[in-house]
Amino acid sequence: MKYKAIVTDYVWPNLDIERSILSENEIDLVDCKSMSREEILSESTDADAIIFCFADVDAELLEKAKKCKVASRYGIGVDNIDIKKCTELGIVVTNIPDYCLEEVADHAIGMILNLNRRITEHWDLVRNGRWHELNLDIPVLRLSEATLGIVGFGRIGKTIAQRMSSFGVKIIASDPILKPGEIINNVKIVNFDQLLGQSDFITVHVPLMEDTHHLFSKPEFSIMKNNAILINCARGGLINEKEASLALKNNEIGGVGLDVIEEMSGNPSSPLFESNNVIITPHTAFFSKSSNEELQKRTAQEVVRVINSKQPENFINPEVINNSRLKLV
C-alpha cells in the first residue's frame, strides 16, 4: 500500500467498511483498538492519517505522527483533539456533523416522553411488586399545553423542533448566533434566561467549549420551573451534575435525561446515578444501523479526499490550508 491510516478506537463490531474504502485508494488500515498507548504512538510515526472516535488525540500523539496529513473524527464533537496543534503542524481535521440527526433527535424526544410520563419510574413499581402504590400526585404534563426549549438551534435542534411540532408543543429556542425575536421554522428565538423560565422541557445541543462548560448549574436551575425536565445528548460537561442532583433533591427541577456524563472514562460515575426521575444512557443517542454505517463510510471518505489533495467536506480547521502537509485544491 502507498499510504497508512491508523484507527485509534471504535465501538462497532469491525472496520470492514473503512478497510474496503481505504484499500481501494491504496491506503492500508491499521486497527489500534487493542493496542497500548505506547504501541499507538509507535504506529503513528509513519501514519498518513489518524481516524479516531473517543480517544484523545493530543499534542504528544500529533507530534509523533510526522507524516500525518489528516485526522478524521468518527462523529460530531472535536473536543478530544488538539486542533491548535493540528493547525500548527499542518494536519487537516475533519468530522461528520450530520450523520445522526434523526437518531439524536429521537433519543432526546424519547427521554422527554419517558420522563414526563414517568414510564421507567412506573415500570420499577410494577416489577418490584408495588402495582397498587401508584402516586398520581406528580406533575405529568399534557404535551399540547407544554413548552419545549431548545438550547442550540442547529441541525439537531431543528430536527427535534420539526418532530416535536407534531405533538402540538409550543417550541422556543436559544442560540448565541441568532437574534431574540426571530421566528425560524415557526420557532421563536428567545434569550437564554427567557428559555429557562418558560420551558417545561429543555434539550441541549451545543458544543462543549470554555464558555459552555457547566452551562447548566445552580443559577440556571434556580430560574427553571420546578417541574422542568432537562435533556443532554450533547456533551457531559454542559451540566454541573452535582448541582443537578441537588436541584432534583430540593424539587427545583423535575427530571434529567442524559446520554453523556462528565466522567465517562475508567469507571463512569455521576451524582445523578442515585437521583430519582433520571434516565442515563451510555452515549448511544447517535446509534442506529444506518447511522453507524454512514459514519464509518463518510469518515473513511474524508481521509481519501485529503490524501488525494482535495478539501474535505467538513473542514474543522480551514486556516490550516496555507501550511497543510498536502496542497489542497
Active site residues: 235, 263, 283
The 10 Å Cβ neighbour count of residue 240 is 20
Q: Is residue 165 within 8 Å of residue 192, measured between CB atoms?
A: no
Residue 81 grid cell: 483533539
Q: What's the CA gap between 107 and 67, in Å, rounded?
A: 39
Helices (H), 165-288: 192-198, 218-223, 241-249
Q: What's the CA gap between 225 and 199, in Å, rounded?
A: 7
Helix (H, G, I), strand (E, B) or coil at 309: coil
Q: What's the CA gap between 169 and 148, in Å, rounded?
A: 7
Beta strands in 109-223 (DSSP E): 147-151, 170-174, 183-184, 187-189, 201-204
